[in-house]
Structure 1
Amino acid sequence: MSWCKQRPPHFIIADIVVVLAANGRLRYIDSIAKKFAELTMANRGEVKAIVTSVIALPPEEEKELKETLQDLIGQGKKVKLEQKIDPNILGGLVLEFGQKVFDMSIKTRARQMERFLRDPTHIGSL
């Protein structure tokens, strides 16, 4: 890999694109780029967390959430928080980090309640 240190990064990227194109794999470039970003973050000790809400979190709530996540993942790693806006969740939050998803959205709670109310096994226990 000593050749990597001698060539500028944009030449290396161009070489990768040429190899992908030559092998009919150019359609995979998005997933390759995402995986490379994940590996780079992991190498730096960074953990990406995505929080989805109906509106952007106020700075103090974002800071508090980031601190809570930092406590969960422990020392030696750094949380990189990304916000997404999705009015379809109706309210609440959806938090994704690592392989975990915490769905605290109103949309999901409403679906759970609907399933509970439609399930006849729960009616007899009332």
Structure 2
Amino acid sequence: MRKRYRVKKEREFQQVFEAGHSKANRNFVIYQLTKPGQAHFRVGISVGKKVGHTAVCRNQIKRYIRQSLQELEPQLRQDVDFLVIARKNAKNLDMKETKTNLIHVLKLSQLLNPKQGNQVD
């Protein structure tokens, strides 16, 4: 995922946390903040040490999330900044389960465009 598609700065993370809305399932929490007129969505990913004690584990979870979002990119709303926060159970998911759970929580938060099919490969 390109850098312009990422929420990187602490100030931007805090803005989404404070002003945004959240939805969750057992594995992920999504905070979102609508930004009208924005050219494309931006995403921040957070995987804490409670989720995976080693950097290897946390980085694998982040890679799964990034890959899933990259595959879902055409279906995602473009006018939002959102944060994906992994919960403890996320460390037990493989790539396919990660994508399925992300689709579920993205639908709950209404970030997936209903016009296009939401398929799990």
TM-score by length of 1: 0.30
- Which structure has the larger Rg? 1
- Between Structure 1 and Structure 2, which shows a larger proportion of helix residues? 1
